[in-house]
Structure 1
Amino acid sequence: MTTAPTRPGPPGARHGMRDLTSGPVMRTMLAFSVPTLASNLLQSLNGTINSIWVGRLIGTSALAATVNANMVMFLIFAAVFGFGMAATVRMGQAFGAGQIDQARRTFGSAVGLCVGLAAIVAVLGWLLAPQLLDLLGTPGESRALALAYLRIIFVAMPGGMLTIMLAMGLRGAGDSKTPFYFMALSVVLDVTLNPLFIAGIGPFPRLGIAGAATATALANYLSLIGLLTFVYARDLPLRLRGTELGYLLPRRSELGYIVGKGIPMGAQMLLASSAGIAVIGIVNREGLIATAAYGAAMQLWTYLQMPAMAIGAAASAMGAQAIGAHKPERLDQISRAGIIANLLITGALTALLLIFDRAALVLFLGPDSPAVPLARHIQFLASWSFIIFGVTIVLFGTMRAGGVVWAQLIALGLSLFPARLGFYYLLRPALGADALWLAFPFGSLVAAALAIVSYRRKGWREKGLAISPERAAEAAHADGDTAGRVKPDL
């Protein structure tokens, strides 16, 4: 009689990754989420500080130029982010099943695809940057500045994409601390080098706005070199050596999953961005004071969203490893812990923001601005919507671990457009401008309801558990090489 093979468990610390499939769920989630949240905060602060350097040292035309250039980069980043998220899920499943070599194959294909695309886009971007800026309608007084900035940012793109892929891959392996450390290094370098290159302080050349882009590119590449050195020095799971470097040539079996799941994931970012643009268009029609008030509120909302995003990423990584390890009972525990953590953290942050709203808003508007009272009103009507939306992020984070992506895209589209904008247009005659601010919590309620309905359907669990990392590994090792399988501890 043939005995069924023992399923290999997660490789654990001795293989350089963190096991997310055992131990207290809440403690594991918080340990993973906090460094991710800190990374997001650092990234946002980095952008804010660099904008201050550009605005103060060069002027408003230069600041407008960076806004136009960054809009182009966001569109490109959205696509790469989707592919990276899809690869992270597949890698997490492989790590959960103990299939280190299969995780490396997925990682190699994702890196080869994304960095290859980034290199092509960098060349085309350098050549077509003038046409891109014309397409965006970049104001003439800032066009030359935007062109100089954008071209250098395009040069930095391949390194930036590789850094993103490494960070996402490490999170898939359960390690959220290492990406945080090197994000911190990048931010410190960027913030320090920006004024030096812009103004030509000391031995540094005076490059103006090109100096801002040069500082960012240099900081990114230096951080990337440090991260790669660390990965190989510690022999972390994602390192590729010898024949494994061949994994960087994307394989059809991997690309089918990465592209098929990555496109709808990236589309979610584009959908949210387009909805934001639509809302700004509506706000602009309410007048200058409304635009200023909404702009200040948005600055604070950026930070309100971060806890849920970090917790959702944790739910996705933990869920992927649980599916790979065939522990379906852990999925509901992950979702429950994520929702509780979101309610506590986002709820506390929202409460603090509403208590000290005036002090926070005057940082952007000034103490005597007539927009401050309206901004406070907007905060009280709409800020709590992010607590509700956090529930959606957590549930879809867990479902994403099972490869569910289209349900998220559909739910997001319905909540942002028919629900949010429909609410505004239907109730604008009765509520006035308040219809727009109340449309935010209404849209969040619709999104949460759709997420709960989708989550309660059992089909996604069976579909996720049917994805066998062992089968993927066997297909990849058709030549008989089984070196990547991690044997269970005896």
Structure 2
Amino acid sequence: MASQAGSRRVDLTTGPVSRTLLVFALPTLASNVLQSLNGSINSVWVGRFLGEGALAATANANIIMFLLFSAVFGFGMAATVMVGQAMGRRDLDAARAAFGSALGFCFGLSIVVAISGWIAAPMILHALATPGPAFDFALTYLRVIFTAMPASLLSVMIMMGLRGAGDSITPLWFMILSVVLDSGLNPLFIRGLGPVPAMGIAGSAAATAVAGYISLCAMLFYIYRKDLPLRLRGAEFAYLIPSRAQLSTIVVKGFPMGLQMIVISTAGLIMIGLVNREGLMTSAAYGAAQQLWTYLQMPAMAIGAAVSAMAAQNIGAGRWDRVNGITWRGMLFNVVMTGSLIGLMLAFDRPVLALFLGSNSAAIDVARHMQFLASWSFMLFGLTMVLFGTMRSNGVVFAPLLILILALYPMRLGFYHLAYPALGADAIWLSFPVGSLTSLALAGAFYLHGGWRNTKLMVPPDEEECREQTNAATEPTGRMAPTG
């Protein structure tokens, strides 16, 4: 009898491409939307209870959080692809080894991030030119958030590994739990009630930390209670100490993938600094607009991740005949989803922005103006992410990184510096479509003519190391079989 865990895993190498991709991608999209909705709800609480200075502080802190999650995203994507290709080959032991190695590596990294982030928080905020009225808020918020880093980063890694195994439903359930806890605890911790003291902006960050740790513990309990395919037992716990071959692949492939997101987020940090120089009103407007732009990125990130996991399983199974179809359908889904969101956002932007800024805030008109100039570029961004998702499913990581560097620095920032004397702040908003057009053109050319299909994901392991691993991991569940 097939186990409940086995029934949860979707075989991404069979069935109609469009339906399989859509069914797999929608829970990931729902998870991303919920995560963004959680951030937006928390921003509403902060803006309404604590004012524009606190809202600007969270915008400055959140871009730093994105920077940190970007690093883990790369290692998580490397694990997703390794797990996906192993599942496509029907090699469950290799999937668990890749998952365990990524998890152990991420745990050590998260501890380093939490400690160093707490210490370096003031220097980071000074480097961002955080406005004076927002600085103390941002420092308090950021330091508390750093205490949540181990739970947050490990949760991201586990969810990405599960998706690589074809399970996008389990991560959704625990994203729902985290969002319900975080959004519910935010007003309680900010304002206080009964024995719970009013903690101000520190309460918002504390709510995120509490929700993260509870959700992580519940997810681990569920994985073992349901005996999901990637759970580790007995001798498999040794996989938490990465082997030379696994660590090499995670770092060599994962670091450039993470660097792609870091390039995006550091460009965002520079943008924050440029926006902050326009004054507190523009900074608050940009913080509100960022909340809406986060939703515009959700289809791109979800579909890109789904394309990557699905293509990886098909490459592992030798089903190259399905890979192009996965890519083109992913691009079509992105156009439909992102285009619809852009239309809705622009149609109802004033009442939505009022949630963050208050209905009488002069920052609403500033935010609306920047949205009309920049929002459509996120559709182009989504198409690029789908192309990158397919390429990274075969271990191609350096070409996408170079494309992003060229698009965001010489092109986007170069356009800003050249156009600012004539356009003023509009040069910031118009630089978004300039960078997106460049990255899409270069990604499309490389996908069609770059020879990325010839790359191999895994480096060949040392023969002696391979023999040692074979002797150490003799549990029969290493073969692909129903578990439970």
When the two structures are superposed, what TM-score results if normalisation uses the length of structure 2? 0.86
2:185 matched residue in structure 1:
193
Match of 2:339 among 344, 347, 362: 347
Q: Distance in 1 between matches of 2:409 and 2:173?
A: 38
Q: Could you say which residue in structure 1 is the equivalent of 2:221?
A: 229
Q: For 1:18, what is the secondary structure of its paired residue?
A: coil
**1:242 alignment partner AA:** G
Aligned to 2:385: 393
Residues 261-311 of structure 1: CA deviation (Å, up to 9, x unaligned): 121122222211222233445556667776665554433222112111111
Quote the Cα distance in structure 2 between the aligned partners of 1:280 and 1:104. Answer: 40
> Which residue number corresponds to residue 461 of structure 1?
453
Whether 1:169 aligns to 2:169 is no
- Aligned equivalents of 1:304, 1:49: Cα separation in 2: 16
* Aligned-pair CA distance for 1:257: 0.8
Change (3 A) 1:367 1:74: closer
What is aligned with 2:41?
Answer: 49
* Between 42-51 and 60-69, the greater mean CA deviation after superposition: 60-69
Give the count of matched residue pairs.
477
User: 2:166 matched to 1:154?
Assistant: no
| Whole-angstrom distance in 2 between the partners of 1:382 and 1:430 | 18
How many angstroms apart in 1 are the aligned matches of 2:137 and 2:284?
25
The CA deviation string for residues 223-264 of structure 1, in whole angstroms up to 9 with x for no partner, is 112111111111111100111111111211111011111211
Label 1:221 to 1:338 Cα distance change in 2 as closer, same or farther (>3 A).
same
After TM superposition, give the deviation of residue 74 of structure 1 in Å: 3.6
> Which deviates the most, 215-224 or 240-249?
215-224
C-alpha change, 1:58 and 1:15, in structure 2 (3 Å) is same
- Point out where structure 1 has 5 or more consecutive residues left out of the alignment: 1-10
* Residue in 1 that maps onto 2:317: 325
Question: Which of 257, 261, 264 is matched with 1:269 structurally?
Answer: 261
Aligned-pair CA distance for 1:129: 5.3
Residue 336 (structure 1) shift = 0.9
* Contact 1:100-1:485 at 8 Å conserved across structures: yes
Q: 1:117 to 1:293 in 2, by over 3 A?
A: closer
CA contact (8 A) 1:102 1:476 kept: no
Whether 1:308 aligns to 2:292 is: no
Structure 2 counterpart of 1:271, one-letter code? V
TM-score of the pair, normalised by structure 1 = 0.85
The alpha-carbon distance between structure 1 residues 241 and 353, as it changes in their structure 2 partners (threshold 3 A), is same
Query: Where in structure 2 are the equivalents of 1:13-412 lying within 5 Å?
Result: 14=6, 16-58=8-50, 63=55, 66-67=58-59, 69-126=61-118, 149-283=141-275, 294-364=286-356, 375-412=367-404
| Stretch of structure 1 that moved more, 50-59 or 138-147 | 138-147
CA contact (8 A) 1:96 1:325 kept: yes
CA distance in 2, matches of 1:295, 1:76: 19
Shift of residue 422, structure 1, vs aligned partner? 3.2
Amino acid at match of 2:480: V
Rounded Cα–Cα distance in structure 1 between residues aligned with 2:276 and 2:62? 21
Residue 316 to residue 151, structure 1, CA distance change in 2 (3 Å): same
Q: CA deviation at 1:164?
A: 1.3
Evaluate the alpha carbon distance shift between residue 64 and residue 295 of structure 1 in structure 2; reply closer, same or farther with a 3 A threshold. closer
Q: Residues 194, 12 of structure 1: CA spacing in aligned structure 2 closer, same or farther, 3 A cutoff?
A: closer
Which whole-Å CA distance do the structure 2 matches of 1:88 and 1:15 have between them? 19
Q: For residues 476 and 346 of structure 1, do their structure 2 counterparts lie closer, same or farther at Cα, with a shift above 3 Å needed? A: farther
1:4 is aligned to: none
Contact 1:196–1:202 (CA<8 Å) still a contact in 2?
A: no
C-alpha deviation, 1:145, in angstroms: 5.6
1:486 alignment counterpart = 480
2-structure distance, mates of 1:354, 1:123 = 41
Larger Cα-atom Rg:
1
Give how far 1:347 is off. 1.6
**Superposed displacement of residue 104, structure 1:** 0.7
How far the C-alpha of 1:454 sits from its partner, in A, is 1.0
8 Å contact 2:18–2:329 — kept in the other structure? yes
Residues 36 and 180 in structure 1, CA contact (< 8 A), matched pair in contact too: yes
3-state secondary structure, aligned to 2:166:
coil
Residues 141/339 of structure 1: CA separation in 2 closer, same or farther (3 Å cut)? closer
CA distance in 1 between partners of 2:330 and 2:421 (Å): 39
> Comparing 125-134 with 450-459, which one deviates more in the overlay?
125-134
1:121-180 CA-partner distances (Å, limit 9, x unpaired): 334445565666666666777666655544443333222222111111111111111111
> Alignment RMSD, CA only?
3.4
Matches of 2:286 and 2:185, distance apart in 1: 32
SS in 1 for 2:178: helix
The one-letter amino acid paired with 1:201 is L
Q: Is the 8 A contact 2:245 2:460 kept in 1?
A: no
Give the secondary structure class of the aligned counterpart of 1:236. Answer: coil
Name the CA distance, whole Å, in 1 between partners of 2:364 and 2:137.
32
Distance 1:288 1:324 in 2: 51
Q: Is the 8 A contact 1:323 1:465 kept in 2?
A: no
